[in-house]
């Protein structure tokens, strides 16, 4: 039996190691990658870069009318579960990447910075084709 989770941590609250920031430009708002957690599936995929814009989560289109709570809930889940994300590079190229949730999302520290840590995993393996 696993030990109880520390206060403020949901055992099913794992992400992919991508820190996003809302950016507004020309009246539109979008979520841009500002940091990747070392050792996370996002980093190990070698596809996602700081500056890329999130465009979809499991085929759900993330447009300028997105609800931040819905997006956050879709990005997190049970450790080891998979999620398919779509991104757009700054030069316009769009791509999809399948990731494994392996980074525990926790409450912000007293300095306001979210603390995340990648959980040990073996080499990143993309999902098998369906």
pLDDT tens profile 25-36: 888 889 999 999
pTM: 0.72
What pLDDT is stored for residue 67 in this prediction?
A: 86
Q: What is the pLDDT of residue 108?
A: 47
Q: Do 53 and 28 contact (CB within 8 A), yes or no?
A: no
Of residues 48 and 102, the one with the higher pLDDT is 48
Element (H, E) at 70: helix 68-75
């Amino acid at each position: 039996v696993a030990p109880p989770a520390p206060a403020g941590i949901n055992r099913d609250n794992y992400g992919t190691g991508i820190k996003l920031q809302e950016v507004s430009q020309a009246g539109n708002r979008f979520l841009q990658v500002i940091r990747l957690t070392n050792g996370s599936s996002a980093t190990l995929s070698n596809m996602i870069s700081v500056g890329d814009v999130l465009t979809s989560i499991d085929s759900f289109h993330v447009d300028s009318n997105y609800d931040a709570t819905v997006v956050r809930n879709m990005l997190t889940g049970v450790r080891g579960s998979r999620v398919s994300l779509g991104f757009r590079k700054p030069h316009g190229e769009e791509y999809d990447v399948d990731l494994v949730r392996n980074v525990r999302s926790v409450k912000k520290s007293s300095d306001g910075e979210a603390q995340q840590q990648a959980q040990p995993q073996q080499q990143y393996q993309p999902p098998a084709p369906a």
